[in-house]
Amino acid sequence: MNDVAQQVVQSPAEVYDEHFVPALFQQWGSIVTDVAGITQGHRVLDVACGTGALTRAAADRAGAAGHVTGLDPNEEMLEVARRKDTRIEWQHGSAESLPFADESFDRVVSQFGLMFFEDKPAALREAARVLRPGGRLAIAVCDALDHSPGYAVFAELLHRLFGADVAQAFRAPFSMGDREELLSLGSSAPIDDVRVQRHDGRVRFNSIGSLVSTERACVWTLGGVLSSGQFEKLLRESEESLQPFEVDDGTIEFLMPALILTGDKP
Domain boundaries, the chain: 3-264
* CATH class of the structural domain 3-264: alpha beta
Pick out the chain residues at pLDDT < 70. Answer: 1-9
Instruction: Decide: 237 and 211 in contact? Cβ < 8 Å.
Output: no
Q: How far is CA 266 from CA 101, 119, 226, in A?
A: 17, 23, 48
pLDDT of residue 9: 64
Q: List phi, psi (to 5°) of 65.
A: -80, -15
Residue partners of 174: CB distance under 8 A and separation at least 6 = 115, 142, 143, 144, 145, 148, 151
Each residue of 207-218: pLDDT tens digit?
A: 999 999 888 888
The confidence score (pLDDT) of residue 11 equals 84
pLDDT for res 248: 84
Long-range Cβ pairs for the range 58-62 (8 Å, 24+): 58/29, 58/33, 58/107, 58/109, 59/85, 59/87, 59/88, 60/33, 61/33, 62/38
Query: How many Cβ atoms sit within 10 Å of the Cβ of residue 178?
Result: 16
Q: Are 28 and 201 in contact (CB under 8 A)?
A: yes
Q: What is the pLDDT of residue 82?
A: 97
The pLDDT tens digits of the residues spanning 119-130 come to 999 999 999 999
Fill in the amino acid letter for 15.
V
Residue 217's pLDDT is what? 81
Return all residues near 176 (Cβ < 8 A) that are at least 6 apart: 114, 115, 141, 142, 182, 259
